[in-house]
Amino acid sequence: MTEPRIAVDAMGGDHGPSEIVAGALMAARAGYGHIILVGDEARVRPHVKGPGSEHIEIVHADDEVSMDVNAAQALKGADRTSLGVAVNLVKKREADAVVSAGNSGAFLAIALIKLRTIEGIARPAIATVWPALKGPTVVLDSGANMDCKPEWLMQFGIMGSAYAKAVLGIDNPRVAVLSVGEERSKGNTQVLEAAALLDAAPVNFIGNVEGKDLFANLADVIVTDGFVGNVALKTSEGILSKLPDAIRDEITSSGLFAMLGAALLRPTLRRFRTRFNYETHAGGPLLGLRGNCIVTHGRVSRNGMHHAIRIAAEEARRDVVGTIAALVAPTLAKEA
C-alpha cells in the first residue's frame, strides 16, 4: 500500500495534546506514515514544529471525550469530538488507522457503531503483545469485554492468530486458552466450552496454559476474557516497571563489590529495561472491527505514542482486517 495515513486523537489521554503531538512527531521522523492529528487546532498547532512536522496534518474537532464519561454519553456527541472525528476518518477511508490514548470504553463504543464488526465476529477484543522470553506473545482480550461467551473466546483465538501471522510473522501460531491448569479438564464452564470450540476452529489450538506461562512462550496467542486479561496485563506491567528499581535497591545496599559488578552490567540492565518497558508495546489493536483501531494507555508518554503509531502503521500495511476476515470465512461456511 501507499504511505499509511494514521489518524491520532490528539486530545486523548492524561497528557494530550503536548505528549501526543510529541509522539506523533517522533513517529513522523521515523517514517511510519502520514499522521493526521485530530483535535482543537488552537491547542494542537503550537506543538507541531521542527523535524517531522512536514508529515503531519491537523483536522479540527470542537470537543474531546473526557476520561470519566460513560460510553453512552460519548456516543451522543461523538461527531464533534476528536475521538469521534478520528474514527470517522477511518470510516470514510480518509485514514487507514486510528490511535487514541483516551477513554477506552468510549473508543470501543464509537468504533463499534461507526465501523461495525467484521462479518462473523460478535465482539471486538483488545490484543496486547507481551515481551515474552523468546519472542512476543499475543494476549486477548485485554480489557474490552468483561464477561464473555465461549463463542467470543473462540473468535478471539481466530483474531489473535491472524494478527500473529500478519504482524508478527509467525507462520502457524500456537493458540491456547488461559486457565487454572494445563490439563484439558481444568477450568470453568466458559473455558471448557471455549476450548472445545477452538479445537474445531481454523487455528493451531494446543490447549490450556496457566498464568505462570504468560512469559514462557508456550503459546503464541493466549485467549481469555477482558476481566482476567486486563488484571493480568496490569499486574505484569506493575511488576516489570518496579523490577529495575528493586534490582537497583538491592545493589546499592549490598556494598562496593556489588556496585562495581552492577557498573559492568549496566548496558545489560538498560537493554532489559527497554525490552520489558510496556511503552515499547503500548499500542493494543482493537481487533474484529472493519477498520484498524489502536488503544493505548491514558498515561502514555511521547515514546509510547510513537510506538502505538508504529503498530497502527504495521497493522494497516499488513491488512490485518482482511486476514481476520479470511480466517473467519471457513467458520461461517460451516455454520451455513
pLDDT, tens digit, 9 for 90 and up, residues 200-220 = 999 999 999 999 999 999 999
State how far the alpha carbon of 282 is from the alpha carbons of 12, 99, 232, 276, 278, in Å: 14, 11, 15, 11, 6
Neighbours of 42 (CB within 10 A): 8
pLDDT of res. 250? 76
Alpha-carbon Rg of the chain, whole angstroms?
20
Of 324, 312, 320, 153, which Cα lies nearest the Cα of 229? Answer: 153
Helix (H, G, I), strand (E, B) or coil at 243: helix
Scanning the chain, the segments in alpha helix (DSSP H) are: 18-29, 41-44, 71-76, 82-91, 104-115, 150-166, 189-199, 226-252, 256-275, 302-317, 320-335
Identify the band that residue 332 occupies on the pLDDT scale cut at 50, 70 and 90. low
pLDDT given at position 29: 96
Whose cell is 464452564? That residue is: 189
Please give the Cα distance from 231 to 139 (Å, whole number): 12
**pLDDT of residue 336 exceeding 50:** no
Task: Please tell me the distance from the alpha carbon of residue 184 to that of residue 195, in angstroms, as a whole number.
Answer: 8
Q: How far, in Å, CA of 287 to CA of 295, rounded?
A: 10
Listed by start position, the domains of the chain span: 1-121+288-318+328-336, 125-280
| 180 pLDDT more than 90 | yes
Contact (CB, 8 A) for 97 and 309: no
Share of the chain above pLDDT 70, in %: 93
Residue 82 is predicted with a pLDDT of: 96
CA distance 116 to 119: 9
| Structural fold of domain 1-121+288-318+328-336 | Isopropylmalate Dehydrogenase (3.40.718)
Amino acid (1-letter code) at residue 32: Y
What's the pLDDT tens digit per position in 10-63? 999 888 899 999 999 999 999 999 999 999 999 999 999 999 999 999 999 999
How many secondary structure helices (H) and strands (E) does the chain include? 11, 11
Residue 2 has pLDDT above 90, yes or no: no
The pTM is what? 0.85
Angle between helices 150-166 and 189-199 (to 10 degrees): 50
Q: Which of the two residues, 319 and 245, has the higher pLDDT score?
A: 319
Length of the chain measured in residues: 336
**Residue 143 DSSP symbol:** S
pLDDT of residue 178: 96
Partners of 292 in beta bridges = 97
Nearest-5° angle of CA 278, CA 280, CA 282? 65
In this prediction, residue 290 carries a pLDDT of: 95
265: left (phi over 0), alpha (psi -120 to 50) or beta: alpha
pLDDT digits (tens, 9 = 90+) for 108-149: 999 999 999 999 899 999 999 988 888 889 999 998 998 999
Q: How far apart are CA 200 and CA 155, in angstroms?
A: 12
Residue 39 in contact with residue 57, Cβ under 8 Å? no
Out of 3.20.10.10, 3.40.718.10, 2.60.40.10, 3.90.245.10, which CATH number does the structure's domain 125-280 have? Answer: 3.40.718.10
**Pick from 19, 33, 189: which is nearest to 197 by CA?**
189
Each residue's pLDDT tens digit, 77-105: 899 999 999 999 999 999 999 999 999 88
On whether the CB atoms of residues 178 and 224 are closer than 8 A, the answer is yes
Closest by alpha carbon to 222, among 317, 125, 307? 125
Are both 1-121+288-318+328-336 and 125-280 of the same fold?
A: yes
